[in-house]
Chain A
Amino acid sequence: MIQILSRYGVLFILTLLVLTAMSFSLVYLFPGDVLENLTGIVPQNEIQREALMRQFRLDQPYIVQFFYYLSSLLQGDWGYSLASGLPLREEIGIAMPATIELSAYAMLMALFVGIPLGYYAGLKSYSTTDHTINALSITTYSFPVFWLALILILFFSLHLDIAPLSGRISLLFDIKPVTGFVLIDIMLAEGIDHGLAYRDAISHLALPTVAIGAITTASMVRITRRSVIDVIHRPYIVAARSRGVSEWQIFFRHVLRNALLPILPLMAIQITTLITNAMIVETLFSWPGIGSWLIQAIYQRDFPALRVGMLAVSTLVITLTIMVDLFNRIIDPSREKYERATV
């Protein structure tokens, strides 16, 4: 157990190091001044420039520069935005939870809708129900996410007028960002009508969540279905059936767990797609998340923001991926022992 944890820990740290190195190299690869790219501070005169160069070790070899960069990242000094002049850490601290919140709900939707549907389709494999579910999921899966989001806006916001067009919560509610997650912040806020605020926040959340979640749900259905079909044709299911074990017991004792094991690593792959989709949908719904924030940074050629934003998003993706992988490693007994030798 400790060995597993340490191995995944080392993997995590090494991956982050490589990412940091890439983010550092961006300082030199971006057009423009290296100092400005690194710090986000525009020096007013030569003396200030010299001082900054010395402070950020830019007069020393790359390796020293890199380690200074690393240590300042760890200390929370992520540089300043060229566009707004605010510390990047604060800006990301506000934008990131919004994205995490949105993706988390979309992932929950995929888990609680996609996996049961996939199980159902897999158990009824090659029947009409199965074909219907499968056809629907393929159709949904092949929608481009921006198109789906626009259609949702067009239909629900403009035609039916039941959901707001954009934003996170109505400006009438004065909610301080404490945790950054709007549903928790509402709970913490004082002096507002909580019920109304929740209704408003959820109606804001619904459309972007559905837009992101639909595609992940569809792929979840397909992955689960395939996995279930694979498992129900394994010899141990036939063996269990020949022992007269009832269908329910076969499902709960043998199919459920064995079908879930191969799904988990594929879920880790889905996280990347999910966050990419989240970034696109955020822009369309003006959701104040990291995606729209990064796109703003691209428009404004805010290179320090891009550099740190990229690092933050990839750290999030890698953390989640490694956590899912670790979880899978822990619950799968067949990977437990004798990893490199057979008995």
Chain B
Amino acid sequence: MPMLDIKNLTLEMVDGDTTIKALDKVNLTVNTGEIRALVGESGSGKSLIVSAICGALPSQWRMTADRMSWNGENLLSMSKYQRREVMRRDIAVVFQNPQTSLDPSATLGEQLEESIPDEFVEGYWFWQRAQHRKRIAISTVHKVGIKQHKHYLNAYPHQIPSDIGQKFMIAMALVSQPKLLIADDPTRGMEPTTKTQILKLFTRLNQTRSLSILFVSHDLLAIASMSHSMTVLYAGQTVESGKMKHIKKRPLHPYTKALLDSAPSFRKDLPPKSQLPTLGGSIPTLQHLPIGCRLGPRCPRAQRACVSRPAVRYIHDHTYNCHFPLHMEKL
């Protein structure tokens, strides 16, 4: 049974007299112990899915879903308190931008200690508890690869470089020993060395603690090597989802193919100095979304049927949403 199971998640916003469907029947599952990549261009609704999972959607969004469950418990019908407990103990989130996700007026140490669940802290008197909190904080900080804990635990967010900030966000996520880590584009804007460090950290956590990770990114190269399975998103619709090696070997959806083709490292047969294939046009704005399959206007294989929304089709555990997938060449 999947750990996190989301079926037909739809997010709408009423804008004047029109409704904008930012997410249109998105399906997403994360199994125990796997790294699931969630890939899509900017504006395809990746971060919205993340906020929907952690229940931090701004109030103007209207959320509907057929199923949204965590270990068999329904997240949608939970009380506020139960939801908070799940977020506190089981799910942890690393947000995109560490500088804005950290409170500018509190030291990093204070913020890290605040996320330690009370059950972990030993001691009867408050000073014993404070000491133990501090020890937990230091050891967690060491785990994510920050060595000068004394300096950084007493620093304010504006005093630290952004990769330390991101490592701190990861430390804050890990301190509650969660079962699922949602990483929302954690390596954005980082230089390759720090990026590799952080990706390695994630892989190690996944292997040693069997931590499930939902890795949200548009950096195909980085996640292709580490994740087990992948879900591709285009303009708020799930396009294709399945095991990483299957998708890499034989993408079924034209968009996935275009996405993989645009990354030169996936193509061994690419002749030198040749142009990379891309899809014509650009992603539609939220105000002018096409009906049916949203890739329609840009799709090289689009036909009349594409104005209606394609149903989810399966080949084993590989799912895709397309009327004319790539393996049906005859059509």
- Interface residue? A17 (CB, 8 A): no
Contact B104 A334 (CB under 8 A): yes
* Chain B CB within 10 Å, residue with most, of A235, A242, A254, A334: A242
Within 212-235 of A, Cβ neighbours of B (below 8 Å) are at 233-235
The minimal Cβ–Cβ distance linking B169 to chain A, given in whole angstroms, is 8
B93 within 8 A of A: yes
- 0/1 interface trace, chain A 29-46, chain B, CB 8 Å (1 if under): 000000000000000000
- Selected from B89, B100, B110, the residue in CB contact (under 8 A) with A236 is B100
CB <8 Å contact, A245 and B106: no
A172→B177 CA distance, assembly (Å): 73
- Given the contacts A243-B176, A343-B161, A332 and B87 also touching, CB distance less than 8 Å: no
A244 in complex: contacting residue of B51, B85, B105, CB < 8 Å = B85
Closest A residue to B57 using CB positions: A238
Beta-carbon contacts under 8 Å, A286-343 to B:
332-334, 336-338, 343
Query: What residues of B have a CB within 8 angstroms of the CB of A257 in the complex?
Result: 105-106
A246 at the interface (CB under 8 A from B): yes
Interface check A63, CB cutoff 8 A = no
Contacts of B58 in A (CB 8 A): 233
Taking A235-B97, A239-B95, A246-B84 as contacts, is the C-beta distance between A258 and B56 under 8 angstroms?
Answer: no
**Do residues A249 and B114 form an inter-chain contact, with CB atoms below 8 A?**
yes
Is B235 located at the chain interface by the 8 A CB criterion? no
Q: CA–CA, A242 to B180, complex, Å? A: 13
Residue with the highest number of chain A CB atoms closer than 10 Å, among B97, B103, B106: B103
**Residues in B neighbouring A159, C-beta threshold 8 A:** none
Q: Report yes or no: A244 in contact with B156, Cβ–Cβ below 8 A.
A: no
In angstroms, Cα B87 to Cα A236, docked, is 15
Please tell me if the beta carbons of B159 and A343 are within 8 angstroms of each other in the complex: yes
Q: Does A241 interact with chain B (Cβ within 8 Å)?
A: yes
**Which residues of A are found within 8 Å of B156, using beta-carbon distances?**
333-334, 336
Contact A258 B104 (CB under 8 A): yes
Q: Determine if A337 and B159 form an interchain contact, defined as CB atoms under 8 angstroms apart.
A: yes
CA distance A243 to B103 in the complex (A): 13
B288 to chain A, nearest CB (A): 27
CA separation between A323 and B151, bound complex, in Å? 31
Q: How many residues of B contact A (CB 8 A)?
A: 34
- Is the pair B51, A236 in contact by a Cβ cutoff of 8 Å? no
Q: Considering the complex, give the chain A residue whose CB is closest to the CB of B88.
A: A244
B142 within 8 A of A: no
In the complex, A178 has a CB within 8 A of chain B: no
State which of B105, B106, B172 has its C-beta within 8 Å of the C-beta of A243: B172
A332 to B51 Cα, complex, angstroms: 30
Using CB atoms, name the residue of chain A closest to B115. A243
Q: Does A188 contact B (CB under 8 A)?
A: no
- Most chain B beta-carbon contacts within 10 A, residue among A235, A238, A243: A243
* A265-292 vs B, Cβ < 8 Å mask (1 yes, 0 no): 0000000000000000000000000000
On chain B, the residues within 8 Å of A336 by CB distance are 156
Cβ of A242 and Cβ of B100 under 8 Å apart? no
B285 in the interface (beta carbon within 8 A)? no
Binary interface profile of B, 86-125, with partner A (CB < 8 Å = 1, else 0)?
Answer: 1111001101010011111111001000110000000000
On whether A235 and B105 interact (CB within 8 A), knowing A244-B176, A246-B84, A337-B159, the answer reads no
Tell me, yes or no, whether A240 is within 8 Å of chain B by CB: yes
Q: In the complex, which residues of chain B have a beta carbon less than 8 angstroms from the beta carbon of A238?
A: 51, 56, 95, 101
* Interface: A151 (CB within 8 A): no
- Decide if B158 is an interface residue (CB 8 Å cutoff): yes
How far apart are B9's CB and chain A's nearest CB, in angstroms? Answer: 17
A240 in contact with B103 given A245-B115, A333-B156, A337-B159 (CB within 8 Å): yes
Q: Within 8 Å of chain B (Cβ to Cβ): is A261?
A: yes
Chain B residue nearest to A258 (CB atoms) is B105
**Chain B residue contacts of A246, Cβ below 8 A:** 84
Q: Which of B158-184 contact A (CB under 8 A)?
A: 158-159, 161, 169, 172-173, 176
Contact, CB under 8 Å: B158 / A334: yes
> How near does chain B come to A260, taking the closest CB pair, in angstroms?
9
Chain B residues near A245 (CB-CB < 8 A): 88, 114-115
CA gap between A225 and B93 in the complex, in Å: 29
Give the docked Cα–Cα distance between A258 and B106 (Å): 9
Report the bound CA distance from A242 to B173 in whole Å. Answer: 10
A235 touches B106 (CB 8 A): no
By a CB distance below 8 angstroms, the chain B residues around A235 are: 95, 97, 100-101
B-contact 0/1 string along A164-196, CB 8 Å cutoff: 000000000000000000000000000000000
Of the candidates B88, B105, B114, B161, which one forms a contact with A332 in the assembled complex, judged by CB atoms under 8 Å apart? B105
- Ordered by A's residue number, 22 sampled pairs between the chains whose C-beta atoms are within 8 Å are A233-B58, A235-B101, A236-B102, A236-B104, A239-B95, A239-B102, A240-B114, A241-B55, A242-B87, A243-B173, A245-B115, A253-B106, A253-B110, A253-B114, A254-B106, A257-B105, A258-B105, A261-B105, A333-B104, A333-B107, A334-B104, A343-B159
- A-B interface, 4 closest residue pairs, ranked by CB to CB distance from nearest: A244-B88, A244-B87, A242-B54, A239-B101
Report A's interface with B, CB cutoff 8 A: 233-236, 238-246, 249, 253-254, 257-258, 261, 332-334, 336-338, 343
Question: Given A235-B101, A236-B102, A242-B87, 15 other A-B contacts at CB below 8 A?
Answer: A238-B51, A238-B56, A241-B54, A242-B56, A242-B95, A243-B87, A243-B114, A244-B85, A244-B87, A244-B88, A249-B114, A253-B103, A334-B158, A336-B156, A337-B159
Binding site for A on B (CB under 8 A): 51, 54-56, 58, 84-89, 92-93, 95, 97, 100-107, 110, 114-115, 156, 158-159, 161, 169, 172-173, 176
